[in-house]
Structure 1
């Protein structure tokens, strides 16, 4: 198996991920209450959302670029 891209962040663990269907983006919801938006082609963090004091159990991207649930 070949490792294509490695993303590093400061959190105890990643609770879930969601790939966008049109853009090269991946959302990662973290145990720390943060959601991160990554560009997996460039390997860069696009945005970070501090959304909760506790863990974020799930995240879902939509076809709309500006909306994630």
Structure 2
């Protein structure tokens, strides 16, 4: 018997290639690192971009929120 799932799109936005995503444990934020070296923070409740900044000219391969401090992220490129 095939598995049938109903998928509803909640947040859709065109962007460059996304390399990594992380969810903040207490805030409604999604952190995305892009191939271009840009980092974006999205609010998934309001479906708006909170902040976007260019970190490096290299691909931003992995990114992570630091849970005990709302404004910190760690990025590996």
Give TM-score scaled by structure 1 length.
0.88
Output the CA distance in 2 between the equivalents of 1:7 and 1:54. 25
Output the CA distance in 2 between the equivalents of 1:65 and 1:7. 24
Structure 2 residue ranges without an equivalent (≥5):
1-5
Greater Rg over alpha carbons, structure = 2
**Match of residue 30 from structure 1:** 34
Structure 1 residue ranges without an equivalent (≥5):
none
Give TM-score scaled by structure 2 length.
0.79
**Match of residue 41 from structure 1:** 45
1:24-46 superposed Cα distances (whole Å, 9 cap, x missing partner):
00100001110000000111000
Q: How many residues align?
A: 68
Greater relative contact order (CA < 8 Å, ≥ 6 in sequence) = 1
More strand by share: 2
1:1-55 superposed Cα distances (whole Å, 9 cap, x missing partner):
32242231431x1001000000000100001110000000111000001001021
CA RMSD of the aligned region, Å? 1.2
Output the CA distance in 1 between the equivalents of 2:14 and 2:37. 13
